[in-house]
């Protein structure tokens, strides 16, 4: 009886280890995560419009159908990236995701405080290599540091009513992300 | 051998449960609605990270907004697309909000009028600023959100440019609309 209880205790412990390991390892093994789904439609370092979600066709689950959306799948391994998008009349946001789909930074039109959201995206190492005075002289320069060398920039413009769709789309069409 | 089998069952079973039930830590629950504001930051916990890798979604970033999910009505009953459900009340402070109906796996539901949700601009409000939305299978006057007769669904209320976030704890800070089941087909 004692022996059985010990075995069960060992099983419970091993079960806990299996559970924690699978939770930690799973994101690295996922083949159908958002980054992989976007990769299927988006080339590297270019802004691409994501087709609006419909019941039969959507790039990923839980997309908000009230938004027009574009993505830039970035790769910083060859250098930093310059990103810009003019703001739309309604609501425009730019969100940054790591290779593992974790949002690490997001900014909206109001927080940007001007007609264009403009920023530089780089890795921590590239930022450390920046000449110091350049950083200081341009205090208005917004620099975003990416924790991973690849990831996603997601640009979204709200269409609060159907008539706004054209305006939202043209805002997104003017978005740029390019290596510098 | 038996012990090993038990271990594997417990371990994988617990992982499966954790990732499908949506029981990540740090949730903010207000009435029938739950949000996981931390999932929108780099401080995301491993469970939420595994969950988004499994579903393939991109969570709303915290500088953008916050998403509240409801899978049950205010009484705790699962949302059933064959029933009429009344959403009533006001929403927390935000520049815009959107309400969207998804099936249990996060896909949009087909319906005859191609309406998947509402935005804060589209909604018809009462004179005091509150609103009623009827979520149900049959055409209704006013704010009608069709379910397409799907058996189980969930509602997602996303607040954009909002002070609601990780520090939000109570109903008084974030008044969410109530969800009441009416008649069923």
Tens digit of pLDDT for each residue in A59-111? 999 999 999 999 999 999 999 999 999 987 789 999 999 999 999 999 998 88
- B166 interface with A at CB cutoff 8 Å: no
pLDDT digits 0-9 by tens, B82-106 = 999 999 999 999 999 999 999 999 9
Cβ proximity of B45 and B38 under 8 Å: yes
The reply to whether A102 touches chain B by the CB within 8 Å rule is yes
Query: What does the alpha-carbon distance between residue B117 and residue B143 come to, in Å, rounded to a whole number?
Result: 10
- For B1, the 3-state DSSP assignment is coil
The predicted structure's pLDDT at residue A74: 96
Q: How does pLDDT run along chain A (180 residues), one tens digit per residue?
A: 788 888 888 888 888 888 888 888 888 888 889 999 999 999 999 999 999 999 999 999 999 999 999 999 999 999 999 999 998 778 999 999 999 999 999 999 888 877 889 999 999 999 888 877 665 555 567 899 999 999 999 999 999 888 888 888 888 999 999 998
Quote the ipTM score.
0.88
| Structure tokens given for A86 | 């003019």
| Strand ranges (E), A18-87 | 47-50, 67-75, 81-86
B158 contacts A18? CB cut-off 8 A = no
Choose, out of B19, B53, B114, B145, the residue to mutate when testing the contact with A (most A CBs < 10 Å).
Answer: B53
pLDDT of residue B54: 87
Residue A158 to residue A161: CA distance in whole angstroms: 9
pLDDT at residue number A61: 95
Token reading at B40 = 């929108």
**Would strands A103-108 and A176-179 be described as parallel, antiparallel, or unpaired?**
unpaired
| Per-residue pLDDT tens digits for A64-78 | 999 999 999 999 999
- Asked if residue A159 lies in contact with residue A69, where contact means CB atoms within 8 angstroms, the answer is no
Model-level pTM?
0.89
Contact B102, A64 (CB under 8 A): no
Residues in B touching A53 (Cβ below 8 Å):
108, 116
Question: What pLDDT score does A156 carry?
Answer: 95
Note whether B62 contacts A103, CB cutoff 8 Å: yes
């Amino acid at each position: 009886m004692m022996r059985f209880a010990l075995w069960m205790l060992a099983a419970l412990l091993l079960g806990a280890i299996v559970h924690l390991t699978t939770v930690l390892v799973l994101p690295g093994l996922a083949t159908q995560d958002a980054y992989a789904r976007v990769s299927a439609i988006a080339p590297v370092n270019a802004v691409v419009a994501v087709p609006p979600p419909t019941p039969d066709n959507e790039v990923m689950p839980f997309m908000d159908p009230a938004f027009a959306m574009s993505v830039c799948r970035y790769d910083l391994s060859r250098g930093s990236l310059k990103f810009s998008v003019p703001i739309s009349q309604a609501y425009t946001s730019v969100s940054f995701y790591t290779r593992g789909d974790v949002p690490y930074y997001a900014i909206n039109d109001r927080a940007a405080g001007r007609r264009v959201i403009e920023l530089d995206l780089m890795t921590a190492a590239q930022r450390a290599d920046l000449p110091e005075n350049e950083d200081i002289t341009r205090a208005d320069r917004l620099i975003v540091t990416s924790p991973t060398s690849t990831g996603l920039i997601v640009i979204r413009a709200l269409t609060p009513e159907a008539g706004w769709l054209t305006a939202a789309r043209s805002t997104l069409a003017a978005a740029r992300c390019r290596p510098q | 051998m038996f012990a090993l089998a038990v271990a594997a069952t417990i371990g994988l079973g617990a992982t499966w449960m954790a990732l499908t039930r949506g029981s990540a830590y740090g949730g903010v629950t207000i009435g029938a609605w739950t949000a996981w504001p931390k999932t929108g930051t780099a401080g995301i916990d491993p469970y939420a990270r595994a969950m988004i890798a499994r579903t393939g979604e991109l969570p709303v970033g915290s500088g953008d907004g916050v998403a509240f999910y409801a899978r049950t009505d205010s009484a705790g009953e699962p949302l059933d697309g064959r029933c009429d459900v009344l959403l009533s009340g006001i929403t927390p402070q935000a520049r815009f909000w959107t309400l969207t109906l998804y099936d249990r796996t996060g896909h949009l539901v087909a319906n005859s009028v191609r309406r998947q949700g509402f935005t804060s601009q589209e909604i018809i409000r009462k004179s005091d600023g509150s609103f009623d939305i009827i979520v149900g299978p049959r055409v209704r006057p006013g704010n009608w959100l069709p379910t397409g007769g799907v058996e189980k669904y969930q509602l997602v209320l996303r607040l954009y440019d909002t002070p609601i976030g990780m520090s939000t704890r109570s109903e008084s800070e974030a008044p969410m609309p109530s969800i009441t089941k009416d008649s069923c087909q």
